[in-house]
């Protein structure tokens, strides 16, 4: 089994190193090959997603991704900026199904800015469509405004769009995920304003007929943003489009107060996937050895579960992470008085030991 390792920028290399260490400690044989991506890709060959990196990712059974981005690339033109690598990988690999769990580990309840009774035991899954919507819709650009009171001025524009098949396949992913959990699915839309999301709502309602055991409800995106703050534990699985999913999954992650703990998976139609922590590249702490590697280690566990069919090994890693938390080990981002502060490498070593 071949895994493409794309460490990226900022803290990416440090945290990926620890995840690779954990994978190597499982007693399995994985073929792993690394390549530069993001700012590192740009430095190496003038493009955030070098051709060789894309080929490596395409040929692999799964991709383990660190993080991309650094302020020093802010002045590059958009197609050369680091985040284009992640958009390019999603599109080129057809990774339409993004799974983002927001879980609050009981030991870390204090890290949340929300009251413990509101978030303790939080366990929701956001299923975000990842290759459609206004992220990729054409036409887009800056043009002369064709009509209305601002006619003749410059205007920026983009196209939101979802085809029936795109909505169906992400709905199936979400219903099936709900079947394996609490059997409740909330589809988030803005059907009261957008044609795209009235259509979305209609198709999701239709797909629901195939999953009578799952309770489906529909919620407007503005209300969903409120309910995530008001009573997040009422959700089980949330499914939504690329743009709304971007916003809501980050809000949900932050509810836990420990975004350094949250993994993610981005899957294609055959469960090949790209796995990455939900947090970013944090260039401000890069190289200091203090970043939390657990989100990346848990991403590796998701990879074993979804793409490599090694459920038992995934379980082992997740249990090991719980164990180091129970031992009181904490990186700086989740440190509280009374626990033991450790660095990136120590945390990785502790997980290996717990295995």
Ligand X SMILES: CC(C)[C@H](C(=O)O)[C@@H](O)C(=O)O
Q: Which residues have a catalytic role annotated?
A: 135, 190, 222, 246, 250
- Pattern 214-243, its own copies, x by CB under 8 A: -------xxx-xx-xxxx-----------x
Q: Which residues are annotated as a binding site?
A: 90, 100, 128, 222, 246, 250, 280-292
* 118 contact choice in ligand X, its own copies, none (CB below 5 to 8 Å, kind-dependent): its own copies
Q: Report cis status (omega within 30 of 0) of the bond before 139.
A: yes
* 163 contact choice in its own copies, ligand X, none (CB below 5 to 8 Å, kind-dependent): its own copies
Q: Label residue 246 exposed, middle or buried (CB < 10 Å: 0-12, 13-18, 19+).
A: middle
- Around Cβ 72, how many Cβ atoms within 10 Å? 12
Residues with Cβ within 8 Å of 74's Cβ and at least 6 positions away in sequence, in order, are: 81
Binding flag, residue 86, ligand X (CB under 6 A)? yes
* 86 contact choice in ligand X, its own copies, none (CB below 5 to 8 Å, kind-dependent): ligand X
Contact 248, 188 (CB under 8 A): yes
Contact 292, 345 (CB under 8 A): no
What's the angle, vertex CA 88, arms to CA 204 and CA 34, rounded to 5? 120
**Minimum Å distance from CB 148 to its own copies?**
8
- Pattern 105-124, its own copies, x by CB under 8 A: --------xxx--x------
**Minimum Å distance from CB 91 to its own copies?**
11
Q: Distance between CA 202 and CA 99 in Å, rounded?
A: 22
What's the angle, vertex CA 225, arms to CA 74 and CA 291, rounded to 5? 45
What three-state secondary structure class fits 125? strand
Binding flag, residue 161, its own copies (CB under 8 A)? yes
Q: Which residues are annotated as a binding site for Mg(2+)?
A: 222, 246, 250
Binding flag, residue 247, its own copies (CB under 8 A)? yes
**Minimum Å distance from CB 221 to ligand X?**
9
Binding flag, residue 92, ligand X (CB under 6 A)? no
Among 92, 159, 192, 205, contact with ligand X (rule: CB under 6 A)? 192
Question: Torsion over CA of 171, 58, 8 and 36, rounded to 10 degrees?
Answer: -170
337 vs 124, 182, 247, 290, 347, CA distance in Å? 28, 35, 32, 17, 18
Window of 40-48, 83-91, 233-241, 334-342 that interacts with ligand X by CB under 6 A: 83-91
- Pattern 58-97, its own copies, x by CB under 8 A: --------------------x--x-x---x----------
Query: For 287, left (φ over 0), alpha (ψ -120 to 50), or beta?
Result: left
* 142 contact choice in ligand X, its own copies, none (CB below 5 to 8 Å, kind-dependent): its own copies
Tokens of 182: 């609490």
Q: Distance between CA 149 and CA 322 in Å, rounded?
A: 59
Among 87, 134, 247, 332, contact with ligand X (rule: CB under 6 A)? 87
- Pattern 267-296, its own copies, x by CB under 8 A: ------------------------------
Residue nearest to ligand X (CB): 83
- Around Cβ 345, how many Cβ atoms within 10 Å? 14
Provide the binding-site residues for ligand X, judged by CB under 6 A.
83, 86-87, 192-193, 222, 246
Provide the binding-site residues for its own copies, judged by CB under 8 A.
78, 81, 83, 87, 113-115, 118, 134-135, 137-138, 140-142, 145, 147-150, 153-166, 190, 192-200, 221-223, 225-226, 228-231, 243-244, 246-251, 253-255, 257, 259
């Amino acid at each position: 089994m071949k895994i493409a390792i794309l460490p990226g920028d900022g803290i990416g290399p440090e945290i990926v190193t620890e995840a690779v260490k954990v994978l190597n400690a499982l007693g399995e044989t994985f073929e792993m090959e690394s390549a530069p991506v993001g700012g590192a890709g740009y430095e190496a060959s003038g493009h955030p997603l070098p051709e060789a990196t894309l080929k490596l990712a395409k040929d692999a059974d799964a991709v383990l991704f660190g993080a991309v981005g650094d302020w020093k690339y802010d002045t590059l033109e958009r197609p050369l900026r680091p985040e284009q690598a992640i958009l390019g990988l999603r599109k080129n690999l057809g990774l339409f199904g993004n799974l983002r769990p927001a879980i609050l580990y009981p030991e870390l309840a204090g890290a949340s800015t929300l009251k413990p009774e509101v978030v303790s035991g939080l366990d929701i899954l956001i299923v975000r469509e990842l290759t459609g919507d206004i992220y990729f819709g054409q036409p887009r650009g800056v043009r002369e405004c064709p009509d209305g009171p601002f006619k003749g001025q410059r205007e920026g524009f983009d196209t939101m769009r979802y085809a029936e098949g795109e909505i169906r396949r992400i709905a199936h992913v979400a219903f099936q995920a709900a079947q394996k959990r609490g059997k409740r699915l909330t589809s988030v839309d803005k059907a009261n304003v957008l044609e795209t999301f009235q259509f979305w709502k209609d198709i999701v309602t239709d797909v629901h007929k195939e999953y009578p055991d799952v309770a489906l409800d529909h919620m407007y995106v503005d209300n969903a943003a409120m309910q995530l703050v008001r009573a997040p534990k009422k959700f089980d699985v949330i499914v939504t489009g690329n743009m709304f999913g971007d916003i809501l999954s980050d809000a949900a992650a932050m509810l836990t107060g420990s975004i350094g703990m949250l993994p993610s998976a981005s899957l294609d139609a055959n469960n090949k996937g790209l796995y990455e922590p939900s947090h970013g590249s944090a260039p401000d702490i890069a190289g200091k050895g203090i970043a939390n590697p657990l989100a990346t280690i848990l991403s590796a566990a998701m990879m074993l579960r979804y793409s490599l069919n090694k459920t038992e090994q995934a379980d082992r890693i997740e249990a090991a992470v719980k164990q180091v938390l129970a031992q009181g080990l904490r990186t700086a981002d989740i440190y509280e008085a009374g626990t033991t502060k450790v660095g990136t490498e120590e945390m990785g070593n502790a997980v290996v030991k717990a295995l």
